[in-house]
Structure 1
Amino acid sequence: MAWNMTWKNTTHLWLAEDILIQKIGTVLYTYILPVIVGSGFIGNSLSIWVFFRKSLRKLSSSVYVLAVLVSDTGFLVSLLFVWLEVLGYYLNHAQGVCQVLVYLTYVCSFLSVWYMVCVTVENFITICHPTHVQIMCTRARATTVVIVLALAALIMYSLSVMITKVRQSPGSPRALCEKNLEYQTLTSIFTYVDSIITLLIPLSGIAIMLTAMVLSTANSFRWRTESSPNRELMGRRLSAANPQVRVAKMLFALSVSFLVMNSPIHVVRLYYLLRSNSPTIADLSYGEGLMHLVLLFVSYSNCSIKVFLFLIFSRNFRKTLRNLCKGLIGCVFKCNKYKLNERTFV
C-alpha cells in the first residue's frame, strides 16, 4: 500500500518496454486522481453531514457507514499528496511527513476494509437472521466495535513508522520515502501479515456473506410467492416496520461495490506477493504494469462513489439531504433578506 506513493519514481522502470504506459499513467495521475480525491472529499463530507442527522444516526448500521466514510477520507488525504508529487511538490518525501502518510495509508486501508466487513455482517444478520437484529444490531455494540478496530489499527501499524525511511537513492536527485533496508526481513513479514488481514480474510468473508444473503433473499422471495397472500402481506409489513431492514438494500450495494472494485487489485497484489519475495513495480511486465495501474484507480474510485450509492439506494438519505438543502437555502434567503432590510433601514 505504501508503495503507491512513489509512482513518479518507479514508473520510469516501465517505460523501457513501452511509452504508452507513461502516457496512461500521466493522464491518470495528473487528471483523474484529483477528480477522485476532490469528488471523494465533497461526497464523503456531504454523506457524513447527512448521516449525522437524527433520522439516520439512530441506526447501528449508520455508525459503521460513518466509520467507512471517515477512513476513506483519510485514505484520500494520502492520495492528495501523491497528486501533489505529480505536480512537483515532493512533500510526501520529507522526513516526518513520509512516515505519517505511510502510517495513515496503512491505518485507513485496514479500517476501510474491516468497517466494510462490519457493514456486511450487519446486513447479513438483518437478511439471514432477522430475529437477532434487535439483539445484535445495536448502536452501542457498533460504537464499541468501531473504537476497538480503530485502536487496534493505530497500535498494529505503528510498526510502519519504523520500517519506513527517507533516504537518498543512487542516481536520484532527491531523497525518497522508501522502505528501510535495515529491517528488510521485518518488512517482508509485515507485508505478508498485512496482506492476510486486509486482503485474504476480509474479502473472503465479504464474498461468503454476500453469497449467503443472495441465497437467503432468493429463498425468501420463493417462499413468499408460493405462500398465501396473507404471508406476503405480513412479510412486507415486517420489513416496513423495521428500519434496519429498510437500509439492507443500501448496505448490500455498499458491500458489492466494495468487493467488485477492490478484489481485482488485491488478487493481483497477492499473486505478485506469492510470486516474488520482494514484490515491486519493477518486477512487472508491460501488460502487468498497465493492468495494475488501471485496477489501482478502480480501487481508488471506491473511496469516492459512496455518495452516489446512497442517493440511488437509500430513500431516507435522499429525503434527509433534500430537507437539509431546503433548510440551507431557506437560511441563505433569510440572511439576504435580513441584510437587505438592514440596508433599507440605514
Structure 2
Amino acid sequence: MKKKDVKERKDPKGLIGNTLATIVFLSKSQRKTSCSLYLAARSLSDTGFLITLFIVCLTDLGVNIFNVDGICQVVIFLTYICGFLSVWFVVMVTVENYIRICHPFRVNQHCTVRTAKTVIGGFVFVALLLYNFPLWTTGIHVGPDGSRICARHSVYDKINQIVTYSDTVITLIVPMLMIIFLMVAIIYSILELLHRQARLKGKRQKCNERRHSSPQSKVTKLLFSVSFVFITLTLPSHVIRIQMTVKYLYFSSASVICPTMAELAIQKVFLILYYFSFSVTFWCI
C-alpha cells in the first residue's frame, strides 16, 4: 500500500479539533462566505482521513476490524478520497486568498457561496470517479497460518502501479506546485503593499492601517496560515515520496532502492508531520 496505509497512532485531539472547526465554519454567521465552506469541507475530509487511520491502528491493539472483508476495501477507498479532497481544498483556499489579495476587485465575482458549493461538489465527484478502484482491486488474503490480511489482489498489480504514480501527480506534484506558486504571488503582493504603505504619510496612512485591521484582513490572514501550515507540514514528506518514486522508476538495483536506517528514520518523522497536517485546521482559526 501507499503512504496512507501506515499504522500510526493519531491524537484524538485531531478529530475533536476538526469537528469543532467544522461546527465553527458551518455556523450561521460563517457559512455565508465561500472560504468558510472550503475550510469546513477540508475539516470534514481531514476527519474522514483520521478515522480511517484510527481503524487501521486498532489492528495493533488487537481489534482486527480492518482485516474484515468490506471494511478493508471501504477504509482504503475513503483514505484515497479524503487525502485527495483535503489537498485540493487547501489549493482552493490558497486560490481564494490569492484572489482576495492580488485581485480584490474580483472577490464578489469569484469568491461566492454558489461557486464554492459547485467546486466542492465537483471535487467530490472527481474523487469518486478516480478512486473507486480499491473497492474491486483490494481484498482479504488468508495466510498459511490462517491470518487474514487486507491487501491488493496481485492480478491488478499493473493497475495499482499506474494508479500510484497517477496519484503522486494528482495529489502531490500538481497541487503542491500550484500552492507554492500562489503563495509566492501572495507574498510578493503583500510586500508591494507594505512598500507602498511605507511611503504613505498622515491621514492616508491611518486609513490604510484601519483597513488592515478589518474583518477582510483577518480572513486573508486565516487563509494564508492554512496554506502556510499545510506546506510546512507536508512538503518534507512529499519530497521523500518523490525521491522514492524516482528510485523505483529509474533504478533496478535492490541496494539503491532499499532505504537506509537513516532514511527510514527521516521518513518516519516526516510522515508524522504529514499526518499531523490533518489535525491542525482548528488551531489556524
Change (3 A) 1:225 1:186: same
Q: What corresponds to 2:223 in structure 1? A: 251
Determine helix, strand or coil for the equivalent of 2:66. Answer: helix
Q: Report the alpha carbon displacement of residue 239 of structure 1 after superposing the two structures with TM.
A: 4.6
1:276 to 243, 248, 256: 248
Aligned pairs (5 A) from 1:1-346 = 2=2, 4-5=4-5, 7=7, 29=8, 33-35=9-11, 38-169=12-143, 173-239=146-212, 243-277=215-249, 283-310=258-285
Determine helix, strand or coil for the equivalent of 2:149. Answer: strand
The whole-number CA distance in structure 1 between the counterparts of 2:6 and 2:10 is 16
Q: What corresponds to 1:14 in structure 2? A: none
For normalisation by structure 2, the TM-score amounts to 0.92
The whole-number CA distance in structure 2 between the counterparts of 1:114 and 1:231 is 39
Say which one has the larger Rg. Answer: 1
The whole-number CA distance in structure 2 between the counterparts of 1:138 and 1:235 is 25
Q: Report the alpha carbon displacement of residue 237 of structure 1 after superposing the two structures with TM.
A: 4.7
In the alignment of these two chains, the number of paired residues is 281
> Higher mean Cα deviation, 161-170 or 260-269?
161-170
Determine helix, strand or coil for the equivalent of 2:30. Answer: helix
Residues 43, 304 of structure 1: 8 Å contact kept: yes
Q: Report the alpha carbon displacement of residue 205 of structure 1 after superposing the two structures with TM.
A: 0.6
Q: Report the alpha carbon displacement of residue 104 of structure 1 after superposing the two structures with TM.
A: 0.2
Determine helix, strand or coil for the equivalent of 2:140. Answer: strand
Q: Report the alpha carbon displacement of residue 227 of structure 1 after superposing the two structures with TM.
A: 2.4
Q: Report the alpha carbon displacement of residue 6 of structure 1 after superposing the two structures with TM.
A: 5.5
Q: Report the alpha carbon displacement of residue 236 of structure 1 after superposing the two structures with TM.
A: 3.9
The whole-number CA distance in structure 1 between the counterparts of 2:6 and 2:152 is 11
Residues 37, 116 of structure 2: 8 Å contact kept: yes
Q: Report the alpha carbon displacement of residue 299 of structure 1 after superposing the two structures with TM.
A: 0.9
- More helix per residue: 1 or 2? 1
Residues 120, 210 of structure 1: 8 Å contact kept: yes
Residues 10, 50 of structure 2: 8 Å contact kept: no
Q: Report the alpha carbon displacement of residue 240 of structure 1 after superposing the two structures with TM.
A: 5.4
The whole-number CA distance in structure 2 between the counterparts of 1:107 and 1:42 is 21
Q: Report the alpha carbon displacement of residue 5 of structure 1 after superposing the two structures with TM.
A: 3.0
Identity of aligned residues (%): 34
CA RMSD, aligned part only? 2.2
For normalisation by structure 1, the TM-score amounts to 0.76
Q: Report the alpha carbon displacement of residue 255 of structure 1 after superposing the two structures with TM.
A: 0.3
Determine helix, strand or coil for the equivalent of 1:55. Answer: coil
Q: Report the alpha carbon displacement of residue 259 of structure 1 after superposing the two structures with TM.
A: 0.7
Deviation per CA, 1:85-130: give whole Å up to 9, x if none: 1101121111111100000000000000000000000001111111
Q: Report the alpha carbon displacement of residue 3 of structure 1 after superposing the two structures with TM.
A: 5.4
Residues 127, 245 of structure 1: 8 Å contact kept: no
Structure 1 gap ranges (5+):
8-28, 311-346
Residues 2, 102 of structure 1: 8 Å contact kept: no
| Aligned AA (2:66) | N
Q: Report the alpha carbon displacement of residue 42 of structure 1 after superposing the two structures with TM.
A: 0.9
The whole-number CA distance in structure 2 between the counterparts of 1:296 and 1:173 is 31
| Aligned AA (1:64) | Y
The whole-number CA distance in structure 2 between the counterparts of 1:264 and 1:101 is 25
The whole-number CA distance in structure 1 between the counterparts of 2:157 and 2:57 is 28
